[in-house]
């Protein structure tokens, strides 16, 4: 099970980096959302996936039983989901306003601060 989740995490990272390197803002936004999901899966997998015994210490025990689920990665992932969603919502509004102002989602055409009649600046040395 953990190997499959690790492979899925690698796929999430690969696809997210591919989308972030795109020229279109919507693809970049989807890549950032997938990167957040990949990070969440990484945290979840690092905490070992167990579901045999819930993380509850009984009244007659002083230490937890062997093989319990680790609640810390679950709490971290829950917090990361909330932060990633709020970051995604902020970026979505930012992309929407950018599209309204510039009428394009191509980053190559968003050279609004530079004059259109002049040649492009050098891209390397």
The full DSSP string for 44-92 is: HHHT----SB-S---TT-SSPPTTBPPHHHHHHHHHHHHHHHHHHHHHH
- Please indicate, yes or no, if residue 10 is contained in any of the structural domains: yes
Predicted TM-score (pTM) above 0.85: no
Report the pLDDT averaged over residues 3-22: 93
pLDDT over 70, % of the chain: 88
49 or 93, higher pLDDT: 93
Q: What is the mean pLDDT of the chain?
A: 85
Nearest CA among 44, 124, 36 for reference residue 84: 36
- Please indicate, yes or no, if residue 109 is contained in any of the structural domains: no
Name the band, by pLDDT with cuts 50, 70 and 90, for residue 89: very high
Q: In which domain, by residue range, is 54 found?
A: 2-102
- Please indicate, yes or no, if residue 52 is contained in any of the structural domains: yes
**Cα separations in angstroms, 51 against 45, 67, 120, 123:** 13, 8, 57, 53
- Please indicate, yes or no, if residue 57 is contained in any of the structural domains: yes
**Cα separations in angstroms, 104 against 31, 95, 96, 100, 112:** 19, 10, 10, 8, 11
User: Domain total for the chain?
Assistant: 1
Reported as a single tens digit per residue, the pLDDT across 26-81 is: 999 999 999 999 999 888 888 776 666 677 777 887 877 777 777 788 889 999 99
Token couple for 112: 């609004």
**Residue 114 pLDDT > 70:** no
- Please indicate, yes or no, if residue 73 is contained in any of the structural domains: yes
CB 50 within 8 A of CB 28: no
């Amino acid at each position: 099970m953990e190997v499959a989740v690790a492979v899925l995490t690698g796929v999430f990272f690969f696809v997210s980096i591919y989308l972030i390197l795109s020229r279109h803002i919507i693809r970049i936004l989807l890549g950032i959302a997938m990167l957040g999901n990949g990070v969440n899966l990484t945290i979840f997998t690092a905490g070992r996936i167990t579901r045999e015994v819930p993380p509850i210490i009984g009244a007659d025990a002083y230490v937890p039983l062997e093989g319990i689920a680790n609640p810390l990665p679950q709490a971290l992932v829950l917090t990361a989901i909330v932060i990633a969603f709020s970051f995604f919502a902020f970026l979505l509004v930012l992309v929407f306003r950018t599209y309204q102002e510039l009428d394009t989602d191509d980053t190559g055409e968003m050279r609004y601060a530079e004059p259109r009649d002049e040649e492009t600046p050098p891209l390397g040395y």
